[in-house]
Amino acid sequence: MNIYCVFCTRSSEKITKTTQKLLEFMAKCEIKTLVMAGADSIFSAYEKAFNHVKPNNEDIFIFCHDDIEIREEPEIFKNKLKEALSGDKPGFVGPAGTTRLSENAVWWDHELWKAGFHRGRVKHLDPQGREYETYYGEPDSVVVLDGLFLAAKARTIREVGLEKPDYFEGEWDFYDIHYTTTAHQKGFTNKVILLNILHNSAGELAGRDSWHKNREAYIKNTNLPLKI
pLDDT value for 207: 55
3-state SS of 191-228? EECCCCEEECCCCCCCCCHHHHHHHHHHHHCCCCCEEC
Look up the pTM and report it. Answer: 0.94
Classify strands 141-142 and 189-192 as parallel, antiparallel or unpaired.
Answer: antiparallel
Low-confidence ranges of the chain (pLDDT < 70): 10-13, 202-207
Q: What count of residues does the chain have?
A: 228
What does the alpha-carbon distance between residue 136 and residue 46 come to, in Å, rounded to a whole number? 27
Ordered by where they begin, the domains of the chain are 3-227 (3.90.550.10)
Rounded to 5 degrees, φ, ψ at 160 are: -75, -45
pLDDT of residue 98: 98
DSSP tag of 14: P
Residue 216's nearest CA partner among 158, 162, 169 is 169
Structure confidence at residue 203 (pLDDT): 54
